[in-house]
Amino acid sequence: MKIVTCIAPVNIAVIKYWGKRDNELILPINDSISSTLDANQMCAKTTIMASPNFLDNKLWLNGQEENFDQPRLKNCLKEIKKRIYTDESKENIVNWNIHICSENNFPTAAGLASSAAGYACLVFALAKLYNIEGDISGLARRGSGSACRSIYGGWVKWCKGEAADGSDSLAVQLAPPSHWADMRVIILVVNESRKKHSSTNAMKTSMSTSTLLTTRAETIVPARISDMEAAIKAKDFAKFADLTMRDSNQFHAICLDTYPPCFYLNEVSRSIIEFVHEYNDFKESTQVAYTYDAGPNACLYTLENNVSELLAVIDEVFPTNAAREEYIKGIPV
Ligand code: 2P0
């Protein structure tokens, strides 16, 4: 028997991925950039056991047994097995059945990048199990697009690539976490329930109905990606924050332009957006940026020296549990 256990953190996109040019290979229509959070905070933990005595493959997610026959899991396994070095003279682990047990320490499918952490962790664990070397972001991408970014720490770009077979649609690290050591992310959990529209289905509908989406991917994102890379390199928080907030807003505008529309933000999300702009105006400098994925929960980027005052003000402005049903965390990038 062989057992491996791995953890992988979530990543929070600052230039968003939305829309695929190939649904099967999970190839995006634009580059995206994210930061991967500290591994000790919000993460997926996966244990994989392989044994010649297991009669079946099995999968448990957050303690519940799930069907192993899932297309994305199958795709990941198929691609991984292509990269396994097999030694015919030895008993071959690749033929053993596996048991996969994965759990998240944060709300699943509430727009908090749970599939990203989950598939990054799964692929990383499988790579360890089968001793696969080299870049595995392309393997993680086959599980969930955004998962390829969680393979690396710090600031990460998912290059959309040009090849029809997806061979160059990979993640690269732009800078390690130490580059911007005082960067922090605060997650305001507005609602923990599962989202109504899965990202996969919603982005498919956006691709077929939103006229804004192509314009975004072709004419807006390329410039934003290079501006964001420059802002991160220079540790220019004001520029970084401006691009992050505009890109979040544009992503949600695309969701509204999708037909029928996808409403991910709620009243509390919108009041947090207003709060952030008012806070920055009051401070006469940009101290905090919001970004929202496919859900109502706010991710706030700020620098370490602002965290305690900002959390105190958030406590004042949102005194009930409205914006903080469960917890607020200051998470180092
Ligand atoms: C992102 N999101 O860049 C964007 C922002 C949500 C909003 O990546 O179909 O779960 O598995 O590739 O990766 C969510 O998309 O979708 C996502 P699939 P995924 O983080």
Residues 6+ apart with CB under 8 A from 114: 10, 44, 104, 106, 107, 108
In this predicted model, what pLDDT tens digit does every residue of 13-72 receive, in sequence order?
999 999 999 999 999 999 999 999 998 888 999 999 999 999 999 999 999 999 999 999
What stretches of the chain adopt beta strand conformation (E)?
2-9, 11-15, 20-22, 27-28, 32-36, 43-51, 58-61, 64-66, 97-104, 154-158, 171-175, 183-188, 288-291, 298-303, 328-332
Is 2-332 a domain of CATH 3.30.230.10?
A: yes
In this predicted model, what pLDDT tens digit does every residue of 198-249 receive, in sequence order?
899 999 999 999 999 999 999 999 999 999 999 999 999 999 999 999 999 9
Q: What pTM value is reported for the model?
A: 0.94
Q: Is 79 in the pocket of ligand 1 (CB under 6 A)?
A: no
Identify the residue whose C-alpha is closest to ligand 1 atom 9. 200
Q: Is 17 in the pocket of ligand 1 (CB under 6 A)?
A: yes
pLDDT band at residue 321 under the 50/70/90 scheme: low
Ligand 1 atom nearest the C-alpha of 26 is 12
Domain assignments of the chain as residue spans, ordered by start = 2-332
Could you give the CA distance from residue 209 to residue 95 in angstroms, rounded to a whole number? 44
Centroid of ligand 1 to alpha carbon of 200 (angstroms) = 7
Q: Is 247 in the pocket of ligand 1 (CB under 6 A)?
A: no
Centroid of ligand 1 to alpha carbon of 144 (angstroms) = 7
> For residue 8, what are the β-bridge partners?
44
Whole-number pLDDT of residue 265 = 95
Could you give the CA distance from residue 194 to residue 128 in angstroms, rounded to a whole number? 31
Tell me if 225 sits within 8 A of 33, measured CB to CB.
yes
Q: Is 145 in the pocket of ligand 1 (CB under 6 A)?
A: yes
Q: Is 146 in the pocket of ligand 1 (CB under 6 A)?
A: yes
The residue whose CB lies within 8 Å of the most ligand 1 atoms, and thus the one to mutate among 10, 15, 17, is 17
